Amino acid sequence: MYKLLFTIAVLIFLSSCSSDEAPIKVKTIDKTGSVEMKLEVKHLKDKDLLCINYYVWYNNKIVKIRKVYDTVPQLPLTTTVISETVKNNEDEEEETEISKTVSIPKNYQFFVTLK
Tell me if 70 is assigned to some domain: yes
6-38 pLDDT tens trace: 555 555 555 555 555 666 777 888 899 999 999
Does residue 71 sit within a domain? Answer: yes
pTM: 0.57
What domain range includes position 58? 2-19+29-75
Contact call for residues 50 and 37 (beta carbons, < 8 A): no
Domain membership flag for residue 88: no
**Does a structural domain hold residue 41?**
yes
d(CA 54, CA 28): 16
Q: Rounded to an integer, what distance in angstroms lies between the CA atom of residue 86 and that of residue 100?
A: 14
How many Cα atoms occupy the beta-carbon half-sphere of 1 within 13 Å? 0
